Amino acid sequence: MRPIKSRKKAGLKLPKSILDEIENNDSGSRAQNGKRELSHREKRKLARNTKNATVNDQPPRRARKEEQETEDALEMLSASHELPKKKKAKRDSSPSYEDFIRKQQLAALDEDDREIAMLEKKLRIRGKNKRTSQIDNEFGWILEDLDLDKDLNGLEGDGLSAPLEDEESMGSEEEKPESDESEEENEEEKDESHQESESTSEGEEEEEEFKGFSPEDEGVQSQQKTKRQNPYLPAVSSTPSTGKYIPPSLRQKASTDEQGSIDLTRLRRRLQGLLNRLSSANVGSIVNEVEAIYMENSRHSVTDALTKLILQTVMARESMLDQLVIVYAALSTALYRTIGPEFGAYLLQSLVDEFLRLYKSKEKEPLSSHKETSNLVVFFVELYNFQLVSCILVYDFVRLFLKSLTELNVELLLKIVRNCGNQLRSDDPSALQDIIQEMNSLLSTADPTSISVRTKFMVESITSLRENKKAKVAMANSQLKAESVNQLKKFLGSLSSRSLRATEPLRVSLQDIEQVETKGRWWLIGASWKSDPLVENNIASSSSKIAEERKRNEELLAHSRLLQTAKKLRLNTAVRTSIFIALMGAEDYIDAWDRILKLRLKKVQQPEIAYVILHCASNEKTYNPFYALVALKCCTRQHNLKKSFQFSLWDFFNELQPENDNETNEVPMRKIFNLAKLYAYLVIEGGQPLTILKHVDFASMNSQIQTFILVLLSDILVETKEDIQLVQTMDTCKTEKNLSSKVDWFLKTYVRNNPLVEGKEKLLLKSNLSIARAALQAIAKDET
């Protein structure tokens, strides 16, 4: 064993099989007490074993390196026989012969290698031993304990069986006479490789177990054979495609769509849970949670999902409660102000599109099938009440419904008038006036017999809305609804303390929403808008200039006419002329009151207001209730104007019956009748008390004053609809002593047989007369 130690010190480590062979040879030579020269077959076998061992233990190298290792092994082998005894080296008679033999062996090995390489190139085989080449040289020790012959039997069906058979046949042709010896050599190689695998596996187990790969995975990898491809053709996948080709972009899109559908389902469930818990008490907390959802997800996804859920909730039920619709409208308005105008715009567009789809598809169906349409209109009206949308779109819907007075259109118009009539009137009274004119023109062309009772009620409601008669316009559906609306308006007002992204309503029209696909959304910041702004601005500016100029000319013409009329009425002072122009140039009595306030008259000049109103009312050919409405507005708003109307009435009494009996002043009956009707309306509505008659001398009054009081009291009894209101009107006589007995006497003497009242009004007069006299008699008893 000394030669082995000397080799280890030299730094070269030989395979175990060679060391065992050397040890066996050394022991055999020692047993024979002499040196036996190796035969040609033994030297060839030793060289082959050396070469195979180096291939199995080390990763593949180039041919020149393998030859160098083989030469070093042979030199060490020859040196091992010479090292034990120096005397034997001296006894060798022909050392040059061994060198010659060794050179021949190396030449034979090189020739064999070239021949094998040539055959491998023809057969397109890279390794010489295909069984060992299928195992990774670096991790092959994991599979050393397995039966590789059985594992590699599955490769017969592949392209590896033919090269193996060719190699075996070539080996058999070369060494036919030595078949028995080759079998023995193969068995010895198997034993040696088995011993080496056992030693290596034991050494590795002592250090650490490898858990990165399993034997099954390594076996599968060892069986895989990469097919050589032509570099001049496009690459082809090793696994044949069985289905249609899908581009990578579509594959990624399909995977993202699946993930996105899962996320959207989770988002809808979360939002649906919030809407299920929605009430007027927890709107603030729901808004905060929705804002948190907007921060966690895509804004468009949340907006789309929330809009669909709200519209589905509003449309799902057949009979939707107004209180629930109000809560959903308040939530939408709060999100519009906190999230931004994109949410309100998307909700409004979806709402209008869905309504138009249902309205056009079910237009000819009966009214009972339009519950969804009716619910959407109520929801839209409540959005207008909470100032998410302006009155422009509401008036567009009213004009759409007025095109034909069908049962559905009448019902939808009634819902709009009931829920937001006063708000529409205050926002744009001129548009309301235009709508009333369109409605009247439409009714004038229609057959009176074909107009239903519901249509007549709708017409009366709109007319009462113009005249601001709240008794006929069902504004307060219930006390509960009014309370909920006020509470939610307070909540929306409290949002002003936060940083709001939208404060004004969306001023879009129905035409803008219908042309979204062609022109775009001008009301959203950053949205596309398909039009020529320069051309449109030029057209709009030119048309606006023309309209303004025309309006200015009309105003100048009207102003000049009013000045001429004021001169005819002898309103010569500047204050009276300005009051007259403000009064006659107004659209209605509210506009007239606003115009009078804008004059900013001094306190000394304010009595001129009562004078101008009474002067204009008395000069009308027939009684005009417009002046009575303006006078009632003045009496209820300012106390000094109320006193001014009283003083003006007493001056009129002095005009009717002067203090000097010799003087006679004939007042036109038209003036007496108009003023009596005006003051009767003021007494009924509470603008003036009945004590305005305290300066009248009932015992010595002339015919003109008698006519005035007769018309005044008759109109009070006829126009008062409720008994309680009539009793309250008569109770105003308590403040003036003996006035109740005087009025009772006048009712008994003149009003009972009033020739001016006829028909149904006469029956109403008699019934109210008894009630009024009873109230006055009770007051007179209390005074005594």
Cα–Cα distance measured from residue 306 to residue 283, given in angstroms and rounded to the nearest whole number: 15
The pLDDT of residue 64 is 57
Report angle CA 752, 753, 758 to the nearest 5 degrees: 105
List helix spans (H) across 599-638: 607-618, 625-637
- Taken in order 744, 749, 750, 755, the sign of the CA dihedral is positive
Cα–Cα distance measured from residue 168 to residue 478, given in angstroms and rounded to the nearest whole number: 105
Number of residues written out for the chain? 784
**145: Cβ contacts below 8 Å, ≥ 6 apart:** 197, 198, 201
Helix (H) or strand (E) holding 433: helix 429-445
**20: Cβ contacts below 8 Å, ≥ 6 apart:** 192
- What the block records as the tokens of 140 is 């092959």
The pLDDT of residue 269 is 92
Q: Where are the domains of the chain?
A: 2-221, 272-519
Cα–Cα distance measured from residue 772 to residue 690, given in angstroms and rounded to the nearest whole number: 12
- What the block records as the tokens of 149 is 């012959």
358, 376 Cβ separation under 8 angstroms: yes
Burial of 645 (C-beta count, 10 Å sphere; 0-12/13-18/19+)? buried
Report angle CA 303, 521, 541 to the nearest 5 degrees: 150
Cα–Cα distance measured from residue 478 to residue 193, given in angstroms and rounded to the nearest whole number: 101
The pLDDT of residue 487 is 85
Query: 529 has which bridge partners?
Result: 520
Cα–Cα distance measured from residue 258 to residue 312, given in angstroms and rounded to the nearest whole number: 24
Amino acid letter for position 658: P
245, 179 Cβ separation under 8 angstroms: no
Amino acid letter for position 546: I
CATH number 1.25.40.180 given to 272-519: yes
Cα–Cα distance measured from residue 298 to residue 527, given in angstroms and rounded to the nearest whole number: 18
How is residue 529 annotated by DSSP?
B
3-state secondary structure of 724: helix
**296: Cβ contacts below 8 Å, ≥ 6 apart:** none
631, 623 Cβ separation under 8 angstroms: no
The pLDDT of residue 343 is 92
**617: Cβ contacts below 8 Å, ≥ 6 apart:** 623, 624, 627, 628, 631, 674, 675, 678
The pLDDT of residue 168 is 45
The gap from C-alpha 393 to its chain's centroid, in whole angstroms, comes to 21
- Is-above-0.75 flag for pTM? no
Mean pLDDT by 10 residues, the chain (784 residues): 43 62 57 55 75 55 59 60 44 61 85 87 65 50 50 43 44 43 48 47 44 46 52 56 67 65 87 91 92 92 93 78 88 92 92 90 73 88 91 90 85 87 84 82 77 83 73 48 81 84 87 84 74 60 74 79 85 89 87 89 90 91 91 91 92 82 75 92 91 87 89 90 87 85 88 80 85 88 79
Number of CB atoms found within 10 A of residue 655's CB: 12
**493: Cβ contacts below 8 Å, ≥ 6 apart:** none
The pLDDT of residue 457 is 85
Q: How far separated are the first and last CA of the chain, in Å rounded?
A: 157
Query: 506 has which bridge partners?
Result: 389
Q: Which residue has the tokens 């080390």?
A: 58
523, 388 Cβ separation under 8 angstroms: no
